[in-house]
Amino acid sequence: MPHSARNIAILNLTNTINNKHNSQLTTAQVEHWVGSDANATGIDMHTSDVRHGDGVTPPDVLGLWNETQ
């Protein structure tokens, strides 16, 4: 994954979700959840929401991931 601002934001979101929920999501799963049109600013907002306890959870990410596999 190249080091663009968007990719760094996805990595930060992945790590934040995994740390908060003791999960093992991959960056590919989280990137799929945020969607291809999400920009770094929007992804950072999701990260902030997770930190404050009202953001995306592993079941949210995995539900969408499993629907498309």
47: Cβ contacts below 8 Å, ≥ 6 apart:
9, 12, 13, 16, 55
Give the C-alpha separation, 22 to 25, whole Å.
10
Percentage of the residues of the chain whose pLDDT score is greater than 90: 88
Q: In which element (H, E) is residue 20 found?
A: helix 5-21
0.85 surpassed by pTM: yes
Q: What is the pLDDT along the chain (69 residues), one digit of tens a residue?
A: 568 999 999 999 999 999 999 999 999 999 999 999 999 999 999 999 999 988 999 999 999 999 988
Our count of domains for the chain comes to 1
> Residue 22 is part of which domain span?
5-68
